[in-house]
Amino acid sequence: MAGGFGGPTDGEEFEAKITPIVVISCILAASGGLMFGYDIGISGGVTSMPEFLREFFPVVYKRQQIPGLESNYCKYDNQGLQLFTSSLYIAALIATFFASYTTRVLGRKMSMFIAGIFFIIGTILNAAAQNLIMLIVGRLLLGCGVGFANQAVPLFLSEVAPTRIRGALNLLFQLMCTIGILVANLINYGTSRIKGGYGWRISLGLAGIPSLLLTFGALIVTDTPNSLIQRGKLEEGKAVLKRIRGVDNVDPEFLEIVEASRVAKEVKHPFRNLLKRRNRPQLVIAIWMQIFQQFTGINAIMFYAPVLFQTLGFKSDASLYSAVITGAVNVLVTVVSIYFVDRAGRRVLLLEAGVQMFLSQLVVAIIMGLKVKDHSNNLGHVLAIIVVVMVCSFVSSFAWSWGPLGWLIPSEMLPLEAHSAGQSVAVCTNMLFTFIIAQAFLSMFCNIKFGIFLFFTFWVFVMTTFVVVLVPETKGVPIEEMTERVRKQHWFWERYFEDKLKGKLHALNYLTSSYLDLKLRISSLIFERALKKCSPALLSWILFYLSCILFFFNLVYQFNCQSCL
For 332-381, give the DSSP string.
HHHHHHHHHHHHH-HHHHHHHHHHHHHHHHHHHHHHHHHHB-SS-B---H
Please select the residue that binds ligand BGC; options are 31, 100, 126, 178, rule is CB under 6 A: 178
CB nearer ligand BGC, residue 215 or residue 330: 330
Residues within window 519-558 making contact with ligand BGC, judged by CB under 6 A: none
The vertex-370 CA angle with 367 and 375, nearest 5°, equals 115
Residue 329 near residue 321, CB atoms below 8 Å: no
Based on the shown chain and the rule CB under 6 A, indicate whether residue 40 belongs to the binding site for ligand BGC.
yes
β-sheet bridge partners, residue 384: none
CB of 181 to ligand BGC, least distance (A): 6
Residue showing the smallest CB distance to ligand BGC in the complex: 2
Could you tell me how many residues of this chain bind ligand BGC (CB under 6 A)? 16
Q: State residue 433 phi and psi, 5-degree precision.
A: -80, -25
In this chain, which stretch among 137-145, 297-305, 518-526, 537-545 interacts with ligand BGC, using CB under 6 A?
A: 297-305
Residues 160, 302, 387, 392: which binds ligand BGC (CB under 6 A)? Answer: 302
From residue 238, alpha-carbon distances to 124, 166, 199, 254, 261 in Å are: 39, 20, 50, 6, 14
Return the residue of 49, 93, 257, 298 that touches ligand BGC, per CB under 6 A.
298
Alpha-carbon distance of 6 to 9, in angstroms, equals 8
403 binds ligand BGC (CB under 6 A): yes
Shortest Å distance, C-beta 406 to ligand BGC:
6
Asked if 308 is part of the footprint of ligand BGC (rule: CB under 6 A), the reply reads: no
Which among 60-68, 293-301, 444-452, 468-476 is the span making contact with ligand BGC, rule CB under 6 A?
A: 293-301
Stretch of 177-185, 280-288, 369-377, 479-487 contacting ligand BGC, by CB under 6 A: 177-185
Q: Does residue 394 contact residue 359 with C-beta atoms inside 8 Å? A: no
Nearer to ligand BGC, 174 or 230 (CB): 174
- Identify which of 117, 135, 179, 123 has the alpha carbon closest to the alpha carbon of residue 187: 179
What mask of x and - would describe binding to ligand BGC in positions 327 to 356, judged by CB under 6 A?
---x--------------------------
Cα separation of 466 and 492, whole Å?
A: 12
- The smaller minimum CB distance to ligand BGC, of residues 225 and 327, is found at 327
Q: CB of residue 491 vs ligand BGC: minimum separation in angstroms?
A: 29
Q: Which residues pair with 377 in a beta bridge?
A: 372
- In the complex with ligand BGC, the residue whose CB is nearer, 158 or 174, is 174
Q: Residue 526: which residues within 8 A CB-CB, separation 6 or more? A: none
Range in contact with ligand BGC (rule: CB under 6 A) among 136-144, 171-179, 232-240, 496-504: 171-179
Residue 179 or 229: the one with the smaller Cβ distance to ligand BGC is 179
SS3 for 101?
A: helix
Q: Which long-range contacts (CB under 8 A, 24 or more apart) does 328-332 make?
A: 328/182, 329/392, 329/395, 329/396, 329/399, 330/178, 330/181, 330/182, 330/302, 330/395, 330/396, 330/398, 330/399, 330/403, 331/175, 331/178, 331/179, 331/181, 331/182, 332/396
How far, in Å, are 386, 398, 531 from residue 365 at the CA level?
Answer: 12, 18, 34
Nearest to ligand BGC of 122, 327 (CB atom): 327
Exactly one of 296, 319, 401, 434 binds ligand BGC (CB under 6 A); which one?
A: 434
Q: Does residue number 180 form part of the binding site for ligand BGC (CB under 6 A)?
A: no
d(CA 184, CA 37): 8
Identified binder of ligand BGC from the candidate list 47, 158, 299, 447, rule CB under 6 A = 299
Q: CA of 69: how far to CAs of 53, 61, 63, 64, 76, in Å?
A: 16, 11, 6, 8, 12
**Nearest to ligand BGC of 360, 434 (CB atom):** 434
Q: Pick left, alpha or beta for residue 47 (phi over 0 → left; psi -120 to 50 → alpha; otherwise beta).
A: alpha
Q: How far apart are CA 454 and CA 537, in angstroms?
A: 26
117 or 144: CB nearest ligand BGC = 144
Question: What gap in Å lies between CA 381 and CA 236, rounded to an integer?
Answer: 64
Binding of residue 326 to ligand BGC (CB under 6 A) = no
Q: What is the DSSP letter of 145?
A: H
Do 212 and 360 touch, CB atoms closer than 8 A?
Answer: no
d(CA 361, CA 453): 6
CB nearer to ligand BGC: pick between 57 and 400: 400
Q: Does 172 sit near ligand BGC (CB under 6 A)? A: no
CB of 523 vs ligand BGC, minimal distance in Å: 39
**Per CB under 6 A, 406 contacts ligand BGC:** yes
Query: Interface mask (CB under 6 A) for ligand BGC, residues 487-526, using x and -?
Result: ----------------------------------------
Q: Does 429 bind ligand BGC (CB under 6 A)?
A: no
With beta carbons less than 8 A apart as the criterion, state whether 57 and 80 touch.
yes
Q: Is 174 in the site for ligand BGC (CB under 6 A)?
A: yes
Choose between 294 and 420: whose C-beta lies nearer to ligand BGC.
Answer: 294
Q: If binding is defined by CB under 6 A, does position 1 make contact with ligand BGC? A: yes
Would you say 78 or 178 has its CB closer to ligand BGC? 178
Shortest CB 66 distance to ligand BGC, Å: 33
Nearest approach, Cβ of residue 174 and ligand BGC (Å)? 6
Give the separation between CA 141 and CA 206, rounded to whole angstroms: 16
* Shortest distance (Å) from residue 398 CB to ligand BGC: 7
Alpha-carbon gap, residue 414 to 410, rounded angstroms: 6
Give dist(CA 154, CA 173) in Å, integer: 7
The single residue among 2, 127, 213, 432 that binds ligand BGC, judged by CB under 6 A, is 2
Q: By the criterion CB under 6 A, which residues form the site for ligand BGC? A: 1-2, 40, 174, 177-178, 181, 293, 298-299, 302, 330, 403, 406, 430, 434
